[in-house]
Amino acid sequence: MIGDNGIGEVIDRKFEIQARCIEHDHVYDDRHAVLMLAKDLALPNTLRFYRSECLRLGAAENQLRGIDLLIERVDRYQAANPTVCKVPDVDDGRGDHILAPNRG
Ligand SMILES: [Zn+2]
């Protein structure tokens, strides 16, 4: 999905997103998606929580298996790239647009 999302603003203010779902050839932009970086030290536990939510919501085994494999790749990425990994942050000044009040 791209374009209007019904809320009058982008969802992800940190990244401009143009992503293609390889599975279905769907396209998504930052009005319909959020991006988290593999270097984000909060991501592994976030994905573990996401998996538990998918399980709670009744997600199919393929979804849970895909998340398990994703978590394993992120864990390996962070182990292989320790100097790149960081605590996520928003810069003073340059990140002001991220912290601006929501329109709704
Ligand atoms: Zn898709």
At 87, list the tokens: 């605590």
Give the pLDDT of residue 64: 98
Mean pLDDT of 13-30: 97
Confirm if 17 and 35 have CB atoms less than 8 A apart. yes
Coil, helix or strand at residue 20: strand
The confidence band for 12, taking pLDDT boundaries of 50, 70 and 90, is: very high
pLDDT 10s digits, 40-99: 999 999 999 999 999 999 999 999 999 999 999 999 999 999 999 999 999 999 999 999
The reported pLDDT for the residue numbered 104 is: 78
Residues 33 and 19: beta-carbon distance below 8 Å:
yes
How many whole angstroms from 75 Cα to the centroid of ligand 1?
24
Nearest to 46 by CA among 65, 14, 54: 54
CA gap 78, 43 in Å, rounded: 10
Tell me, in angstroms, the distance from the centre of ligand 1 to residue 2's CA. 13
